[in-house]
Amino acid sequence: MQKTQFIGEVAARAGVSKKQAKHVLDTALQIIAEQLQQGERVVLTGFGTFEVRSRRARRGVNPQTRQPMTINATRTPGFSASNSLKAVVRGEKSTRDLQREIEG
């Protein structure tokens, strides 16, 4: 599913315009990105956790020259799915069960 399809589905289910759904989605994604940039975790209960993960510097091989090289340490975004979301994907729970958990 592409972003435009996702926005259309959100708009239809929420009973709002596509423009409103796009604005809300874009704002939510911007907030997540800002929090990650500050090193904060974003926990969406029942869905999962967005966090910044650190990778240590390590040795590697340049695939073109086969020469050893050092790969610098980096910070990268990561996502860990909640047990509830994993259960839905495995078919052990329904999406309605997940929705109830997310709504609290």
Q: Where are the domains of the chain?
A: 1-40, 41-104
Instruction: Look at residue 41 and tell me whether its pLDDT is greater than 90.
Output: yes
Dihedral, CA atoms, 94, 27, 41, 8, nearest 10 degrees?
20
Sequence-ordered alpha helix ranges (H) in the chain: 3-14, 18-37, 83-90, 95-103
- 70-91 pLDDT, tens digit per residue, is 999 999 999 999 999 999 999 9
pLDDT given at position 103: 79
d(CA 86, CA 51): 18
Instruction: Look at residue 104 and tell me whether its pLDDT is greater than 80.
Output: no
Point out which residues pair with 58 in neighbouring strands: 71
- What class does CATH assign to 41-104? few secondary structures
- 3-35 pLDDT, tens digit per residue, is 999 999 999 999 999 999 999 999 999 999 999
